[in-house]
């Protein structure tokens, strides 16, 4: 059973590695960032609320975020495993997740912390492109689409995320350092944390993750 959290700073490659993990291990990918972006695209009340925070690089309030994860994790497809990408990001979220996974009898098995030098992150963020139609993620340096500006999966037109600019990035990194970094100690204490070097080619990083998950 693989009940995984994938953690790491903005731009470290959580989204890209998550796509590979869920394909390999056939478990659902639960990305709070993707859930918010979907809600924004559909103009739902949740989307309008999340957009206020996301565009500034701020975290969406805990009660909103915890609510959507509680609903999603209780769904039937998570009974044989799941991958959480971008959640939890605060101690309050981690506490609530602990209670929920206990209640659902779906306890965490691995918390993977992807590590990368701060200086490399901004370059990765600036070269990231995403498909707003299907959510696929590309990188102009390390994972180019076959045709410039077009999604390989659905032919959608690739865009830059509205929060992938230097100003938002600085705020995101700061909130990561203040609110999310304490989770490293939290999960060390829970004996679940495994740190993986996030530097290198996509396949190299994925091999490191696979090794950890198959151990």
Residue 144 is among the residues annotated as catalytic for this protein: no
3-state secondary structure 30-44: EEHHHHHHHHHHCCC
Considering only residues 94 through 153, tell me which ones interact with ligand AMP, judged by CB under 6 A.
none
Residue 89 is among the residues annotated as catalytic for this protein: yes
Dihedrals φ, ψ of 110, to 5°?
-145, 135
**Closer Cβ to ligand AMP, 58 or 202, answer by number:** 58
Considering only residues 150 through 189, tell me which ones interact with ligand AMP, judged by CB under 6 A.
163, 172
Cα distance between residue 143 and residue 202, in whole Å: 8
Three-class secondary structure of residue 208 per DSSP: helix
Contact between 9 and ligand AMP (CB under 6 A)?
no
Is the distance from CB of 214 to CB of 25 less than 8 angstroms? no
**Closer Cβ to ligand AMP, 80 or 156, answer by number:** 156
Residue 72 is among the residues annotated as catalytic for this protein: no
Taking CB under 6 A as the criterion, the residue among 3, 17, 18, 32 binding ligand AMP is 32
Of 49, 161, 179, 210, the catalytic one is 161
**Closer Cβ to ligand AMP, 33 or 198, answer by number:** 33
Contact between 59 and ligand AMP (CB under 6 A)?
yes
Is the distance from CB of 198 to CB of 168 less than 8 angstroms? no
Of 51, 89, 106, 208, the catalytic one is 89
Is the distance from CB of 119 to CB of 137 less than 8 angstroms? no
Q: Which residues contact 144 (CB under 8 A, 6 or more apart)?
A: 138
Closest distance of CB 66 from ligand AMP, Å: 8
Q: Which of 113, 118, 114 is nearest to 186 (CA)?
A: 113
Residue 124 is among the residues annotated as catalytic for this protein: no
Residue nearest to ligand AMP (CB): 33
Torsion on CA atoms 134, 129, 158, 145, rounded to nearest 10? -90
Of 37, 51, 106, 172, the catalytic one is 172
Q: Which residues bind ligand AMP (CB under 6 A)?
A: 10, 32-33, 36, 53-54, 57-60, 65, 86-89, 93, 163, 172
Residues that are catalytic? 14, 89, 128, 161, 172
């Amino acid at each position: 059973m693989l009940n995984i959290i994938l953690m790491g700073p903005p731009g470290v490659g959580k989204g890209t590695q998550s796509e590979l993990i869920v394909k390999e291990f056939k478990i659902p990918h639960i990305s709070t960032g993707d859930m918010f972006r979907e809600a924004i695209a559909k103009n739902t009340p949740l989307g309008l609320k999340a957009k206020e925070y996301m565009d500034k690089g701020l975290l969406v309030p805990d009660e909103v975020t915890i609510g959507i994860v509680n609903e999603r994790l209780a769904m039937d497809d998570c009974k044989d495993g799941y991958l959480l990408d971008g959640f939890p990001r605060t101690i309050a979220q981690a506490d609530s997740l602990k209670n929920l996974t206990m209640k659902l009898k779906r306890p965490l098995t691995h918390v993977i912390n992807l590590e990368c030098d701060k200086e490399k992150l901004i370059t990765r963020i600036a070269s990231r492109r995403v498909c707003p139609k299907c959510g696929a993620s590309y990188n102009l340096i390390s994972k180019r689409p076959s045709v410039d500006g077009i999604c390989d999966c659905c032919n959608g037109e690739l865009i830059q995320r509205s929060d992938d600019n230097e100003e938002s990035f600085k705020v995101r990194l700061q909130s990561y350092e203040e609110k999310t970094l304490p989770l490293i100690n939290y999960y060390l204490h829970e004996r679940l944390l495994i740190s993986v070097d996030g530097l290198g080619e996509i396949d190299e990083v994925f091999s490191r993750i696979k090794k950890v998950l198959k151990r």
